[in-house]
């Protein structure tokens, strides 16, 4: 259980001071630790061990902290309700430093040292892609919560799944018609110059074209950049919609500089909330966003028509009506993504129950059982909404929310249908040998 206690160590004051002290004490322990800890094989009554590959340090740490909180809340509920196949679930956390090399090492550590049943929880695409070969070689199921179009593209392997969150391709495909119909047809895209940005570029451009719109300019920003104003004149003046999807700590700067640049005579703005996850929408300098629109996976702010399941989920994770921590209203969550952890854990539970999973020997059966899943109903296990799962490409499809910034809150103004985001699958993992 020590690992579960560690959930509370990162990020929040008080407890973290203790972890820092523990850190110093551990320095002494290190010298003596041989590094050859023996882990006993899972027994039938022993807990099901889930290796959680977490971004505790590195660029993904802001997301990682909320992924841990959500995971913790879901596991508590699962255990209170009797666990999986009558066995309690134990989460073992390893930090991947948001680094693909360490990510692969951590997957190896889960499989062969911690002897976890599966690996789960990665967000950043480069860590997913870097870790996938190791998961495939060690034949350990790897459930990611990343929203990248890597799993569905068919370029990974049969052991990697993304059953709790939709991928970028589905997201942009489903919001494009709404943008063309409500905001404008001439779109300029600003995106980070890496794979996450390419997916936006490659799938949004044809999607908006299909609805009579066009992308008039594409401006990829290198990730080493920390100020953006000098690129803003590259936005054509006939732009009707500015489509922005920046990530990383520089995004606040980006939005503020956009505000200074345009003042009140701005084009319509459509952004991905990825830019402002864990950031208060009422931060100084963000007034400019008032009236603009955002994609959200799951709404950050409580909505009037929230389901009971959504309310229960928010209470369990510990976020208030503004999407901030119930214990600290300044601590804003990554609500648009972290629901994926919750839903993925319930998918794992369902697949383990369907396959009668007993231990690492049943991993192949678990993969097949996951592939056999077809749909998930909205409810306590899937508070974001119902979903359709495609077992061939290991990817889930769901509803997307488009929210408008109004009075310092995000209000959902449109919810896409699942079909809006469906596309022709490009792969079939089920033909690969297990």
Partner 1 sequence: MAFGPHLLLATLEGLVTAAVLALTALGLSLVFGVMRIVNVAHGEFFMLGAVLAWAITTVVSGNPAIGFALALVLSPLIVGAIAWVAERLVLRRIEYNPEATIVATIGLLYIIQQLALTFYGPEARPVTPPFNIRIQLPWFGYSGYKLSIIAASALLLLATWFVLTRTRIGLVMRATQYDRETAQAFGIPVGRVYGAVFALGAMLAAIAAVLIVPIQQAHYLMGLDPLLLSFIVVIIGGLGSLRGTVVAALLIGVSDGIISVFFSPTLAKIIATLVVAMVLVFRPQGLFGTAAK
Partner 2 sequence: MTEGSTARIYGLHIAVVAVLVALNFVLPEYHHAVLARVLVLAVFAMGYNLLFGYAGLLSLGHAMFFAAGLYGAGLPLYHLGWGIAAAFASGMAAGFVVSAVVGLLALRTTGVAFMIVTMMFAQVFYLVTLYFGEWTRGDEGLVLPQQARRIVFGGTALDLTDPTTRYLLAVSLFAAALFATLAVVRSRHGRVLVAIRENEERTRMLGYDTFANKLAAVVTSGVICAAAGAAYALLFGYVGATFASVQYSILPLLWVLLGGAATTLGPLIGTLFMYYAVDIASGYTSAYMLVVGVMLILLVLFFRRGVLGTVRERWARWLP
Q: Please report, as ranges, the residues that interact with partner 1 according to CB under 8 A.
A: 10-11, 13, 16-17, 19-20, 23, 57-59, 61-62, 64-65, 193, 219-222, 224-227, 229-233, 237, 249-253, 256-257, 260-263, 278-279, 283-285, 332
Shortest spacing between CB 207 and partner 1, in angstroms: 23
- Work out what residue 123 binds among partner 1, partner 2, none; the CB cut-off runs from 5 to 8 Å by kind: none
- Work out what residue 148 binds among partner 1, partner 2, none; the CB cut-off runs from 5 to 8 Å by kind: partner 2
Distance CA 54, CA 70 (A): 12
DSSP 95-123: E-TT-HHHHHHHHHHIIIII--SEEE---
- Work out what residue 32 binds among partner 1, partner 2, none; the CB cut-off runs from 5 to 8 Å by kind: none
Alpha-helical runs (H) found in 149-194: 168-182
Q: Is 41 helix (H, G, I), strand (E, B) or coil?
A: coil
Shortest spacing between CB 22 and partner 2, in angstroms: 5
DSSP 53-73: EE--SSTTHHHHHHHHHHHHH
- Work out what residue 283 binds among partner 2, partner 1, none; the CB cut-off runs from 5 to 8 Å by kind: partner 1
| Residue numbers at the binding site for partner 2 (CB under 8 A) | 6, 9-10, 16, 19-20, 22-24, 26-27, 29-30, 33, 35-36, 56-57, 94-95, 99-102, 104-105, 108-109, 112-113, 125-126, 129-130, 132-134, 136-137, 148, 150, 155-157, 193-196, 198, 222-224
Shortest spacing between CB 223 and partner 2, in angstroms: 7
Shortest spacing between CB 136 and partner 1, in angstroms: 30
Q: Which is nearer to partner 2, 128 or 405 (CB)?
A: 128
Shortest spacing between CB 19 and partner 1, in angstroms: 7
Shortest spacing between CB 216 and partner 2, in angstroms: 21
- Work out what residue 129 binds among partner 2, partner 1, none; the CB cut-off runs from 5 to 8 Å by kind: partner 2
- Work out what residue 100 binds among partner 1, partner 2, none; the CB cut-off runs from 5 to 8 Å by kind: partner 2
Chain-centroid distance, C-alpha 262: 31
- Work out what residue 423 binds among partner 2, partner 1, none; the CB cut-off runs from 5 to 8 Å by kind: none
Classify 364 in phi/psi space as left (phi over 0), alpha (psi -120 to 50) or beta: alpha
Shortest spacing between CB 344 and partner 1, in angstroms: 22
Contact 398, 344 (CB under 8 A): no
SS3 content of the chain, % helix, strand, coil (to 5): 40, 20, 40
Q: Which is nearer to partner 1, 328 or 386 (CB)?
A: 328
Residue holding tokens 């495909």?
173
Q: Which is nearer to partner 1, 123 or 393 (CB)?
A: 123
Residue holding tokens 């009797």?
82
Order of strands, sheet of 48-54, starting from the edge strand that comes earlier in the sequence: 89-95, 48-54, 118-120, 142-143, 160-161
CB atoms within 10 A of CB 431: 8
| Interacting residues of 138 by C-beta distance below 8 A, sequence separation 6+ | 107, 108, 111, 112
Q: Which is nearer to partner 1, 233 or 361 (CB)?
A: 233
């Amino acid at each position: 259980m020590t690992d579960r206690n560690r959930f509370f160590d990162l990020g929040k004051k008080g407890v973290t001071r203790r972890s820092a002290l523990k850190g110093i004490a551990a320095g002494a322990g290190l010298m003596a630790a041989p590094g050859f800890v023996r882990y006993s094989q899972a027994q039938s009554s022993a807990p099901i061990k889930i290796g959680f590959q977490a971004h505790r340090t590195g660029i993904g740490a802001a997301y990682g902290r909320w992924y841990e909180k959500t995971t913790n809340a879901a596991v508590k509920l699962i255990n209170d309700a009797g666990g999986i196949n009558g066995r309690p679930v134990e989460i073992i956390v390893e930090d991947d430093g948001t680094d693909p090399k360490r990510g692969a090492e951590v997957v190896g550590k889960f499989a062969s040292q911690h002897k976890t049943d599966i690996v789960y929880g990665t967000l950043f695409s480069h860590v997913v892609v870097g870790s996938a070969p190791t998961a495939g070689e060690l034949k350990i199921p790897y459930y990611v919560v990343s929203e990248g179009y890597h799993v569905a593209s068919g370029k990974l392997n049969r052991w990697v799944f993304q059953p709790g969150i939709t991928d970028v391709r589905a997201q942009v495909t489903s919001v494009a018609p709404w943008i063309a119909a409500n905001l404008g047809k001439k779109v300029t895209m600003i995106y980070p110059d890496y794979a996450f940005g390419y997916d936006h570029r490659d799938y949004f451009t044809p999607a908006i074209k299909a609805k009579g719109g066009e992308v008039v300019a594409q401006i990829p920003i290198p990730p080493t950049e920390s100020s953006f104003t000098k690129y803003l004149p590259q936005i054509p003046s006939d732009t009707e919609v500015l489509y922005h999807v920046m990530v990383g700590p520089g995004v606040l700067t980006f939005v503020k500089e956009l505000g200074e640049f345009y003042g009140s005579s701005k084009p319509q703005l459509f952004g991905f909330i990825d830019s402002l996850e864990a950031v208060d929408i009422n931060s100084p300098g963000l007034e400019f966003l008032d009236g603009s629109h955002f994609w959200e996976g799951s709404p950050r702010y409580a909505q009037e028509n929230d389901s009971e399941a959504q309310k229960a989920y928010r209470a369990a994770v510990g976020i208030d009506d503004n999407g901030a921590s119930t214990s600290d209203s300044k601590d804003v969550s990554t609500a648009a993504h972290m629901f994926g952890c919750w839903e993925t854990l319930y998918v794992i539970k369902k697949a383990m129950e369907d396959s009668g999973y007993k231990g690492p020997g049943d991993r192949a059966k678990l993969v097949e059982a996951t592939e056999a899943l077809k749909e998930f109903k909205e409810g306590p296990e899937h508070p974001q909404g119902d979903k359709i799962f495609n077992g061939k490409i290991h990817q889930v499809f769901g509803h997307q929310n488009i929210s408008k910034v109004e009075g310092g809150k995000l209000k959902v103004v449109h919810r896409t249908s699942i079909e809006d985001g469906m596309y022709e699958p490009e792969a079939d993992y089920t033909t690969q040998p297990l």
